[in-house]
Chain A
Amino acid sequence: MFRRNNIASRIFQRQIYTPAPGTSVYCARRFYENLVPSCTIYDVECPDQSFRKFTDDGQYLISFSRNQQDLVVYRPTWLSFSCKEEDCDAHDLPPKAKRFESFFTHLYSVSLASCNGNELICKDFFLYVESNQYGIIATSTPSIHDAAANGAAIQGVPYVEKLTFHLIRLEDGVILDVKVFHNDFVNLTHNMGVFLYDDLLAIASLRNQTIHILQIRDSGNLVDVRAIGAFCREDDELFLNSNAQCIAFPDKSKLHQLPGNNVQNGTHLSQPNQEDSLLSGIKQRLLSFIFQGISNEEKDPALRAQWLKKKFYFRFQDYVDLIIWKVQFLDRQHLLIKFGSVDGGVSRNADQHTAFLAVYNMETTEIVAFYQNSAEELYLLFERFCDHFHTASKNSVSMNFVSSHSNNIHALEQIRSVKSKASSQFMKKMLGSLPYSCQSLSPSPYFDQSLFRFDEKLISASDRPRQSTDHPIKFILRRQPCSLKFKIKLGPEAGNADGRTKKIASFLFHPFLPLALSIQQTLFLQQPSVVNIHFRG
């Protein structure tokens, strides 16, 4: 379809044409082809802080102090200065405009981590509740590795003495509520261990193998909803404890049953204090689902026992040893849970370990589906319905329009071309991103694949830092005339003297303003980071 490039013509055209049904957001976004952050202020003098992200509604810039004890919140504003002369375009910005404070107004700083308690803010973790403008920040004591297992804890997983989640009203910095975990471990790097969906928060405790579901009330309270792990329903523990009191001696005949024979979900008797007690909670649900699935594969009842022996009992201990790695919501009732071995749970190269994905219904406490992380069936669901894995809150308008291979033809063509070259490894790699981490993608229109083409190895909507490059990162118009619209360059034209120092770069794009921050850090050296501001001049 022919579209004019000139912004004035586009505005006139907008007065006449209504967009096709369901495309009003995409049509409005096309104006971002004309409004691009083409000017850069290099190495802006700014407070030495660790800038985390813009909130998804664009109201706040969240950063943490360098000592990781304070939360500092800014309001993104815009330049305002006037030029009284006739030919203003030829003038550069005045020096006073090229400051951090011209773009960001400091709102407040809140101290979250106490100095004497050796707690620090986890600077990789931040979640935003858009409906109420609440932020969730975590502070923790240092993690202790090689910890011995005790009680329900898993050996091999580190733990922290105290982990606190703070619910903060970002409007004024008031701490509304806290949730504290003791002697536990939650993987907080890039929001991995916590998932926010609407007002529900799922926290995956790796050490105690429990998924804590909390609700964020409008009043600002964090309310426990349920804890899935050793128990599935809210009253399971009460039921088991009351039964344990009634039964004076254990029923020995029941102890000889293998746990896998408990195909009736939800009906079992176990003595919780015995060492060789039956498996309970989500582990029991999982194993009985696997048992049923394998049993159904063999139609002939006479051969079924042999089939089960080969496929289930032979690997029984491996199934029992599976632990919860990661969790996300698929909707308010369903969780997507990743199970794997203890080694893979905390390692960086989790892709190399075998893992399984299970869909769990919290209301019926049943496992609905179980896949290996290289299953083709799961990959096809992922390819077609990727947006339903990126469960965005209904309240968040911007997050529902992030480009993915399920809603964008260019992204789909890209992954299909990669898939055609190396199918099975590619499927496993793509499924390795499941379950997704919450709020890890930027909703900025400059990452819309229908508008711009850019090198995804150098920059993308994901907020993970990448290896820095001296070359400018080009954003090229997707449609004709496929011209270069703007560049993001991390350093001034002269380049850097020391080309061998490894640097990483991270990019923070404002959700709707043509404003971005690029932050370059030198690894292994204590140099302060270099911050550049990219904006529409």
Chain B
Amino acid sequence: MGSMLGDWPSCDPHNFSKLRRADPSIPSRMMPATYHRTHSRTLPPPDQVITTEAKNILLRHIYRSAEEENDLRPKRAATKHLIPEHGCKQPRATSY
């Protein structure tokens, strides 16, 4: 196994000489370590199926506000849950 950059053309062939390994059996320290996960928190559930939401966004908002009222949470002002999730989005002055 050749070195990673040793065979590529270069103005000075000695530039990458440090990377050249004479003995391929010596494990290279430059090789990045493979990541092994130590937890399974981020695994998707084995039966997960990703599909398109059947309800459009207007109906999702209507259902969400109806569920919040039914949960008997303290009443909030109507504007709060209608603030966009990405608060930084602003309408552009010029279109497309």
Which of A19-27, A83-91, A236-244 is found at the contact surface with chain B? Answer: A19-27
Interface size class of B (residues with CB under 8 A): 20 to 34
Instruction: Known pairs A296-B70, A368-B63; list 16 more (Cβ under 8 Å).
Output: A19-B96, A26-B96, A297-B75, A330-B58, A330-B59, A331-B59, A368-B62, A375-B78, A376-B79, A380-B78, A380-B79, A380-B82, A381-B61, A388-B56, A408-B95, A409-B91
* 25 A–B pairs (Cβ distance < 8 Å), ordered by A: A23-B96, A27-B96, A292-B70, A293-B69, A296-B70, A296-B72, A297-B75, A299-B72, A359-B59, A359-B62, A369-B66, A375-B78, A376-B78, A376-B79, A377-B78, A381-B62, A384-B82, A385-B57, A385-B58, A385-B61, A388-B56, A388-B58, A389-B58, A409-B91, A450-B95
Residues of A within 8 A of B63 (CB): 368
Please, how many angstroms separate the alpha-carbon atoms of A389 and B96 in the complex? Answer: 24
Shortest beta-carbon distance, A145 to chain B, in Å? 37
Tell me the residues in window 76-96 of chain B with beta carbons closer than 8 Å to chain A beta carbons. 78-79, 82, 91-96
Tell me if A26 and B95 are in contact (CB < 8 A): yes
Is A334 interfacial (CB-CB < 8 Å)? yes
Q: Which residues of B contact A (CB under 8 A)?
A: 55-59, 61-63, 65-66, 69-70, 72, 75, 78-79, 82, 91-96
Interface flags for A323-334 (1: CB within 8 Å of B; 0: not) read 000000011001
Residues of A within 8 A of B65 (CB): 369, 377
Please, how many angstroms separate the alpha-carbon atoms of A381 and B64 in the complex? Answer: 12
Interface flags for A270-307 (1: CB within 8 Å of B; 0: not) read 00000000000000000000001100110100000000
Quick one: closest B residue to A299, CB to CB? Answer: B72
Residues of A within 8 A of B75 (CB): 297
Interface flags for A341-367 (1: CB within 8 Å of B; 0: not) read 000000000000000000100000000
Residues of A within 8 A of B57 (CB): 385, 388
Interface flags for A444-457 (1: CB within 8 Å of B; 0: not) read 00000010000000
Quick one: closest B residue to A408, CB to CB? Answer: B95
Quick one: closest A residue to B95, CB to CB? Answer: A450
Q: Which of A27, A334, A408 has the most CB of B within 10 A?
A: A334
Residues of A within 8 A of B78 (CB): 375-377, 380
Shortest beta-carbon distance, B15 to chain A, in Å? 41
Residues of A within 8 A of B82 (CB): 377, 380-381, 384
Tell me if B93 and A409 are in contact (CB < 8 A): yes
Given A299-B72, A380-B82: A409 and B92 within 8 A (CB)? yes
Interface flags for A16-35 (1: CB within 8 Å of B; 0: not) read 00011001001100000000
Please, how many angstroms separate the alpha-carbon atoms of A385 and B84 in the complex? Answer: 12
Is A482 interfacial (CB-CB < 8 Å)? no
Shortest beta-carbon distance, A299 to chain B, in Å? 7
Is A412 interfacial (CB-CB < 8 Å)? yes
Is A246 interfacial (CB-CB < 8 Å)? no
Please, how many angstroms separate the alpha-carbon atoms of A1 and B79 in the complex? Answer: 35
Shortest beta-carbon distance, A420 to chain B, in Å? 16
A-B pairs, 4 with minimum CB distance: A388-B58, A377-B78, A385-B58, A23-B96
Please, how many angstroms separate the alpha-carbon atoms of A369 and B58 in the complex? Answer: 12
Residues of B within 8 A of A450 (CB): 95
Please, how many angstroms separate the alpha-carbon atoms of A19 and B96 in the complex? Answer: 9
Tell me if B59 and A409 are in contact (CB < 8 A): no
Residues of B within 8 A of A26 (CB): 95-96
Shortest beta-carbon distance, A533 to chain B, in Å? 31
Please, how many angstroms separate the alpha-carbon atoms of A520 and B86 in the complex? Answer: 49
Tell me the residues in window 129-175 of chain A with beta carbons closer than 8 Å to chain B beta carbons. none
Shortest beta-carbon distance, B24 to chain A, in Å? 47
Interface flags for A46-78 (1: CB within 8 Å of B; 0: not) read 000000000000000000000000000000000
Residues of B within 8 A of A388 (CB): 56-59
Shortest beta-carbon distance, A313 to chain B, in Å? 21
Shortest beta-carbon distance, B54 to chain A, in Å? 8
Please, how many angstroms separate the alpha-carbon atoms of A26 and B95 in the complex? Answer: 10
Residues of A within 8 A of B95 (CB): 26, 408-409, 450
Q: Which of B61, B62, B91 has the most CB of A within 10 A?
A: B62
Residues of B within 8 A of A385 (CB): 57-58, 61
Please, how many angstroms separate the alpha-carbon atoms of A26 and B59 in the complex? Answer: 27
Residues of B within 8 A of A330 (CB): 56, 58-59
Shortest beta-carbon distance, A361 to chain B, in Å? 9
Q: Which of A369, A375, A450 has the most CB of B within 10 A?
A: A369
Checking A27, A296, A381 against B69 with a beta-carbon cut-off of 8 angstroms, the contacting residue is A296
Tell me the residues in window 379-411 of chain A with beta carbons closer than 8 Å to chain B beta carbons. 380-381, 384-385, 388-389, 408-409
